[in-house]
Amino acid sequence: MMRSVLPILTVLAAILVVWYGAAVWLNSAWAYDQAAREGRELTLVDVVNGTMAQERPVLPVPHQVAKGLWDGVAGQKITSKRSLVWHGWVTLSATLLGFAIGTGLGIALAVGIVHNKAMDLSVMPWAIASQTIPILAIAPMVIVVLASLGVTGLLPKAVISAYLSFFPVLVGMVKGLRAPDGMQLDLLKTYNASSAATFWKLRLPASMPYLFASLKVGIAASLVGAIVGELPAGATAGLGARLLSGSYYGQTVQIWAALFAAATLAAVLVMVVGLIERVTLKRMGMAR
């Protein structure tokens, strides 16, 4: 236990030191400005103190962000528009829906690619091309097009989220479904097994470790997609909207609090997938 905690704490401490240092450095200009306007002289202690509690710091110090996070999570009613829990839920629901769509699409395309020569040759280049287009260019178009069809709210964000998450699932699943070696496939041939049987008895179970590895990437990508989907067209709910309104009004503490909320959400989601992975693989006898 100590062995794994100590390095983590060391890294954390180093980050905090650098962060505080950078905050003092970046926020000091404003403190000097203030002092010059009031005709005061500043000691070093004054400067440091003056950078710790600004309303709109260039870089908020860690304890300001922590306070912002705490206010947003515990200091509000969950239904309040200022509650990070509420915004987090809005983003989370789009993330989960997008993840489900993306995973389904990724798996379906992978199955097609592995079983169909024409799909093998045609789908992959398009899938790769789709990921080379910046999501920031796609997102507004998806929102606008879907809005013109009368679809707003959760679904457009989920579509963007799915757009990002299907790719890792597709790549991982193609690799996983092709993981069985020649001997394992030949064995089924000697039983005269149908390709459906080969899929259910061999390819699918063999692909599980690959699937879970890519699901972890996919769920994080889903969250990024949902947040990006909240940026255009002046959305008012979700962590993305919090980021956006924070930057409109120079509320840097709000931005950082939303960033940390998003990061925490991502970490929790990846951990949940990891947990399901452990349980599943253990049940299958593949974890050791």
Partner 1 sequence: MMKDLSSMAAPVIEAQGVGLTFETNDGPVHALKDVNLTIGRGDFVSFIGPSGCGKTTFLRAIAALEHPTEGRLTVNGMTPDKARQARAYGYVFQAAGLYPWRTIAGNVKLPLEIMGFSRAEQEERVQKVLSLVDLEGFGKKFPWQLSGGMQQRASIARALAFDADILLMDEPFGALDEIVRDRLNEELLKLWARTGKTIGFVTHSIPEAVYLSTRIVVMSPRPGRITDVIESTLPRERPLDIRDTPEFIAIAHRVREGLRAGHSYD
Is 276 a residue that touches partner 1 (CB under 8 A)?
Answer: no
Task: Based on the shown chain and the rule CB under 8 A, indicate whether residue 184 belongs to the binding site for partner 1.
Answer: yes
- Helices 239-248 and 84-115: crossing angle in degrees, nearest 10, is 120
92 contacts 265 by C-beta, under 8 angstroms: yes
278 binds partner 1 (CB under 8 A): no
Q: Does 189 bind partner 1 (CB under 8 A)?
A: yes
Terminal Cα distance for the chain, rounded: 20
Distances from the Cα of 189 to the Cα of 11, 178, 194, 198, angstroms: 53, 16, 8, 9
> Of 104, 94, 105, nearest to 158 (Cα)?
94
Which position among 56, 77, 82, 201 is part of the footprint of partner 1 (CB under 8 A)? Answer: 201
Query: Which listed residue (208, 213, 259, 270) binds partner 1 by CB under 8 A?
Result: 208
Which whole-number Å values give the CA distances from 31 to 187, 196, 216, in the listed order?
Answer: 75, 70, 44
Question: Least distance in Å: CB of 281 to partner 1?
Answer: 9
- Is 192 one of the binding residues for partner 1 (CB under 8 A)? yes
Q: Is there binding between residue 279 and partner 1 (CB under 8 A)?
A: no
CA 22 – CA 59 distance, rounded (Å): 8
Contact letters for partner 1, residues 144-183 (x by CB under 8 A): ---------------------------------------x
Residues in CB range of 246: below 8 A, 6 or more apart: 252, 254, 255, 258
DSSP state of 75: S
Provide the residue type at 221 as one letter. Answer: A
Q: Does 282 bind partner 1 (CB under 8 A)?
A: no
- Kindly tell me which residue out of 15, 63, 82, 186 binds partner 1, with binding defined by CB under 8 A: 186
Q: Considering the complex, what minimum distance in angstroms separates the CB of residue 67 from partner 1?
A: 49
Among 6, 267, 271, 286, binds partner 1 (CB under 8 A): 286
Helix and strand totals (H; E) in the chain: 12, 0
Instruction: Answer yes or no: are the C-beta atoms of 260 and 206 closer than 8 Å.
Output: no
**Per CB under 8 A, 199 contacts partner 1:** no
Whichever of 129 and 183 has its CB closer to partner 1, that residue is: 183
Size of the site for partner 1 (CB under 8 A): 20
Closest distance of CB 277 from partner 1, Å: 14
| Nearer residue to partner 1 within complex by CB, 42 or 206 | 206
Choose which of 193, 213, 237, 259 interacts with partner 1 (CB under 8 A): 193
Cβ pair 139, 229 in contact under 8 A: yes
User: Which positions touch partner 1 (CB under 8 A)?
Assistant: 183-184, 186-193, 197, 201-202, 205-206, 208, 284-286, 288
